Amino acid sequence: MPIAYIALGSNLDSQQGNRAETISAACDRIGRLGRVTARSSLYETEPVGYHDQPAFLNAVLALETKLEPLPLLQALLSIERELGRDRSQGVPKGPRTLDLDLLLLGDAIVAGEELTLPHPALTQRRFVLAPLAQIAPQLRHPQLKQTVADLLALLPNEGENRVSSVRRLEQHW
């Protein structure tokens, strides 16, 4: 079965509790879509894009799943809604209870209106690459053929991608 890599992020409390509890609840629900085979640590990260908001907790998990890319994305968006996220409201890249991004699904390459795989911003985001490299450093980007560890090493240590903007926590989820 192919492995999906899913990024999780939260910077607002939800009905599930604080940011870590929200991410944990999302992981439990994602586990119903297949089998979670790996989870990164939680990372506290500075906001990207829209800066006037609380810090995020981010993580990445690996999910063994039979779902095709679009049905998996739709299921992830449903989980976001269950946990209080309304994508039609609020500021783009602004505060949110939960953000779930499908980063990769096996070697799938998809270019559609609803979904692009690999995730188009994957190679530009330390807050995604750092937790992904923790659980799958040798995973290869299906188009670029570089490993996740290499992609992380190529990021400049500046601006929103400063190493200091992404801090690994000891907290478990």
Whose tokens are 């609840």? That residue is: 25
Question: Which residues touch 71 (CB under 8 Å, ≥6 apart)?
Answer: none
- Whether 89 contacts 4, CB under 8 Å: no
Among the listed residues 19, 99, 125, 126, the single catalytic one is 99
* N-terminal to C-terminal alpha carbon distance within the chain: 25
Query: For the chain, how many residues are written?
Result: 173
Active site residue 32: no
**Which of 19, 52, 81, 101 is the catalytic position?**
101
Which residue in the list 19, 96, 125, 126 is annotated as catalytic? Answer: 96
Residue of 19, 85, 125, 126 marked catalytic: 85
Q: Are strands 56-64 and 43-45 parallel, antiparallel or unpaired?
A: antiparallel
Please tell me the chain's helix, strand, coil percentages from 3-state DSSP, rounded to the nearest 5.
Answer: 30, 25, 45
- 167 included as an active-site residue: no
Q: Is-catalytic flag, 99?
A: yes
87 an active-site residue? no
Angle at 60 between CA 154 and CA 120, to 5 degrees: 55
Catalytic sites, residue numbers: 85, 96, 99, 101
